[in-house]
């Protein structure tokens, strides 16, 4: 599995290495220096962020362009065409790389779990390379300058603050990340659904992708705008940045139930399943605001999740869990999600965010004042930092569910989830970190240890209760 993922990453990196010199050399020739300087003051990407964080002064937008002839003169056709070429290259290249990396999956004798996992890893590896390369190339070629010129013509105002600047970054660079990502998704999702026995619908895949992009883009836009607004305060006191990210994490988790209901086909769960779940909550003194079934249509996925904070929680179960799992397995899944609430895992993630981003902002303010440190820190945090926290929290939630139900019930639920989702028992450390979940094998082993501990405790209690036994 790792080899197939490496194939995708290596092919992408080889293409990146071949094109970067061409792109960096073409930038100087295609964008006249005078034009670049004219708009550089407004939104020159990372340099603008560095100046904002370094000085803490409000950034003033260049005076608006008064004549359309001036706008057309500043928008150089070769530069725009080069941006379009990069977008097309990265989109087609990502598709070709995925197809090449999963070509060997044509062997129908391979287990379905191995084939599905290989496609998922090829997807992850390619998404990590091409969208990043496309965004970097777009920045080098002046995509921010193009959007800045057009925005000055549409909204000829002096300044709209950090919120508008972050919006321009998203408008300028978003398509270069989104289109290759969409192309990769349209190639890999059908293959996965076909192997899982589900039906493939283009509009469904595109809609699901659009929902995912909207949520992630909304989160990053909110965080970026807030942090840039308080840039000078963060530079003077890095703990302010950590606290802001922590508060934003709590806010996002608080509204997450509403977002799930808005972006998914959810309806209240009824019948015996609802009563059993409500009973689990009452037993532990927690309140549940809603219990919902997520209709995934023809998409095959078994997943449960909990949302909300401060004693008010929403439980969401996909239709594959509600329809295919036994009552004992459904109870174990719900108990696992209840474990996240009982251990206050969402608040602990917010606390982790405070510490992590305090350290990052301190390094930026005092050691390495380079904006790429912040970009690198975002990748590490999102792909690995939250994974490190998530793995530990999943083990805790499993243990909680095993105590509330039984280790055997939790194991059966995990095995059913793995079967429905075609997940291999062993996935490797990298996949565990990026998925924020330990492998099924490790989780089953931990539950075996809990079962053995429970049996030893039961034997000790039985021996102590025998006639003639004494306790010193």
Write out residues in the chain with pLDDT < 50, as ranges. 1-72, 470-472
In this structure, is the dihedral angle defined by the CA atoms of residues 388, 391, 392 and 394, taken in order, positive or negative?
positive
Q: Report the pLDDT value the prediction gives residue 471, as an integer from 0 to 100.
A: 45
For 28-31, which contacts have Cβ atoms below 8 Å and span 24 or more sequence positions? 29/78, 30/76, 30/78, 30/79, 30/82, 30/141, 31/76, 31/79, 31/141, 31/142, 31/145
> Comparing C-alpha atoms, which of 183, 198, 73 is closest to residue 126?
183
Q: What is the DSSP string of 34-55?
A: HHHHHHHHHH-THHHHHHHHHH
Q: Nearest-5° angle of CA 231, CA 233, CA 234?
A: 65
What single DSSP character describes residue 158? Answer: S
Class of domain 253-456: alpha beta
Cα–Cα distance measured from residue 275 to residue 77, given in angstroms and rounded to the nearest whole number: 65
| 80 CB-side CA count, 13 A | 10
Cβ burial 220-241 (10 Å sphere, 16+ → b, else e): ebebbbbbbbbbbebbebbebb
Pairing of the two strands 266-268 and 304-307: unpaired
Cα–Cα distance measured from residue 353 to residue 350, given in angstroms and rounded to the nearest whole number: 5
Q: Report the pLDDT value the prediction gives residue 56, as an integer from 0 to 100.
A: 41
Question: Dmax of the chain from CA atoms?
Answer: 103
Neighbours of 467 (CB within 10 A): 4
Helix (H) or strand (E) holding 291: strand 287-294
Please tell me the pTM assigned to this model. Answer: 0.73
Non-local (6+) Cβ contacts of 377 within 8 A are 357, 360
Q: Nearest-5° angle of CA 433, CA 438, CA 441?
A: 140
Cα–Cα distance measured from residue 321 to residue 292, given in angstroms and rounded to the nearest whole number: 12
Domain extents for the chain?
Answer: 2-230, 253-456
Q: Report the pLDDT value the prediction gives residue 295, as an integer from 0 to 100.
A: 85
> Comparing C-alpha atoms, which of 340, 281, 292 is closest to residue 319?
292
Q: Report the pLDDT value the prediction gives residue 389, as an integer from 0 to 100.
A: 92
| 211 CB-side CA count, 13 A | 13
Non-local (6+) Cβ contacts of 356 within 8 A are 242, 381, 385
> Comparing C-alpha atoms, which of 128, 121, 138 is closest to residue 94?
128
Cα–Cα distance measured from residue 245 to residue 240, given in angstroms and rounded to the nearest whole number: 9
CA distances from 287 to 140, 283, 309 (A): 52, 10, 11
CA distances from 6 to 80, 238, 331, 423, 438 (A): 33, 37, 39, 19, 21
């Amino acid at each position: 599995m790792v080899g197939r993922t490496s194939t995708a990453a290596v092919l992408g990196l080889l293409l990146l290495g071949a094109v970067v010199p061409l792109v960096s050399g073409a930038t100087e020739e295609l964008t006249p220096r005078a034009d670049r300087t004219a708009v550089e003051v407004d939104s020159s990407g990372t340099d603008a962020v560095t100046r904002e964080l370094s000085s803490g002064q409000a950034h003033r937008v260049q005076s608006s362009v008064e004549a359309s002839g001036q706008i057309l003169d500043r928008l150089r056709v070769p530069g725009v065409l080069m941006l379009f070429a990069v977008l097309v290259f990265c989109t087609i290249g990502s598709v070709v790389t995925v197809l090449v990396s999963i070509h060997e999956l044509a062997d129908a004798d391979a287990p379905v779990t191995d084939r599905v996992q290989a496609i998922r890893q090829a997807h992850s590896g390619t998404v990590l390379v091409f969208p990043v390369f496309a965004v970097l190339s777009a920045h080098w070629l002046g995509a921010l300058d193009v959007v800045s010129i057009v925005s000055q013509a549409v909204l000829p105002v002096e300044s709209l603050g950090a919120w508008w600047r972050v919006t321009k970054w998203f408008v300028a660079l978003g398509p270069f990340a989104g289109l290759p990502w969409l192309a990769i998704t349209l190639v890999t999702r059908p293959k996965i659904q076909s192997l899982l026995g589900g039906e493939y619908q283009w509009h469904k895949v595109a809609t699901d992708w659009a929902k995912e992009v909207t949520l992630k883009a909304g989160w990053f836009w909110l965080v970026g705008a807030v942090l840039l607004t308080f840039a000078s305060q963060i530079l003077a006191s890095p703990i302010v940045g950590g606290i802001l990210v922590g508060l934003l994490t709590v806010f996002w988790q608080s509204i997450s139930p509403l977002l799930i209901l808005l972006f998914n086909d959810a309806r209240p769960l009824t019948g015996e399943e609802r009563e059993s779940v409500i009973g689990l909550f009452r037993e532990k003194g927690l309140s549940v605001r809603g219990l919902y079934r997520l209709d995934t249509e023809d998409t095959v996925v078994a997943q449960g999740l909990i949302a909300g904070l401060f004693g008010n929680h929403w439980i969401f179960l996909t239709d594959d869990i509600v329809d295919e799992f036994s009552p004992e397995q459904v109870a174990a899944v719900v108990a696992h999600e209840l474990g996240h609430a009982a251990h206050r895992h969402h608040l602990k993630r917010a606390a982790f965010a405070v510490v992590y981003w305090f350290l990052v902002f301190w390094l930026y303010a005092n050691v390495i004042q380079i904006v790429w440190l912040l970009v690198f820190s975002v990748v590490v945090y999102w792909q690995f930092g939250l994974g490190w926290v998530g793995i530990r929290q999943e083990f805790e939630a499993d243990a909680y569910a095993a105590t509330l139900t039984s280790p055997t019930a939790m194991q059966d639920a995990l095995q059913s989830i793995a079967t429905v989702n075609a997940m291999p028992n062993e996935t490797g450390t990298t996949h565990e970190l990026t998925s924020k979940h330990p492998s099924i094998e490790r989780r089953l082993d931990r539950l075996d240890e809990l079962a053995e501990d429970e049996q030893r405790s039961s034997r000790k209690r039985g021996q102590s209760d025998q006639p003639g036994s004494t306790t010193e």
